[in-house]
Amino acid sequence: MTKPVLLNNIDHIDLRVDAVTHNTAMGDALMLALTYPGEFRSVQAHYPIVFHKGADGSFQPVALFGLRESQNLFLRENRWDASYIPLAVARQPFLIGMADGEPVIHIDLDSPRVSHLAGEPLFREHGGTSEFLERVNSMLLALHEGVNATPAFIDTLLRHALLETFVLDIELDGGEQLRLAGFYVIHEERLRALSGEALAALNAAGHLEAVYMAIASLSHLRDLIDRMNRLDAAR
């Protein structure tokens, strides 16, 4: 359950947020998280970027953290084992809402990250927002703008038929077999077959770099498999 409310410095003056601890109890047992083209450069350094097709037929880019539902291979000893956490995760327990057409900050009061005892303060004792909340505001704004820019990127990929279904069959060191399916990746042959004019248009729109970042990120599928093998070996 969630309980998002509009954040304010009267009702929530004493609230604190644990932004450091990462484990299952904190809600971090996530196989994937939403990302956006402007974040691909940071995401591709650690995670595979694939595309998920929703029930409504729309596509969204996501960063993969695991090979099974609710599996996050980056959780280790109450920390996140990577130097970059996608903003869709890092912004928890904060959300963006709209008021009079402007984005405003909401907070999920039911989040295990929220308490009155420990964590980062949201407001200064004598008024004003804390440095932590200022950073959160910047994260939320970047995420909001990035998500809003994603449909144009997806439309471009679909117009050039650059998404293809993706299946990965895996045999772990212990003999267990897994299949990662239900996702889409960039169709590299079709990308290479695009005309110079089409490539120039992709570049001018700022999409070409994101396309290559998504392709490069797939090398981290091997990293996920290695992480899972290490996890199994440690049991």
pLDDT tens per residue, range 148-161: 999 999 999 999 99
- State residue 8's pLDDT score: 92
Mean pLDDT of the chain: 95
Question: In this structure, what DSSP letter does residue 26 have?
Answer: G
Query: pLDDT by residue (tens digit) across 84-132?
Result: 999 999 999 999 988 878 889 999 999 999 999 999 999 998 778 999 9
Contact 53, 229 (CB under 8 A): no
Average pLDDT over residues 182-187: 97
- State residue 234's pLDDT score: 78
Which amino acid belongs to residue 24? Answer: T
Residue 175 exposed, middle or buried by CB count within 10 Å (0-12, 13-18, 19+): exposed
E strands within the chain?
4-6, 16-17, 32-34, 49-53, 59-64, 75-76, 79-80, 94-99, 102-108, 114-115, 120-121, 163-171, 177-186
Domain that holds residue 108: 4-234
Number of domains comprising the chain? 1
- State residue 120's pLDDT score: 96
% of the chain with per-residue pLDDT over 90 = 90
Average pLDDT over residues 24-52: 97
Average pLDDT over residues 140-150: 95
pLDDT at 45 over 80: yes
Query: pLDDT by residue (tens digit) across 164-173?
Result: 999 999 999 9
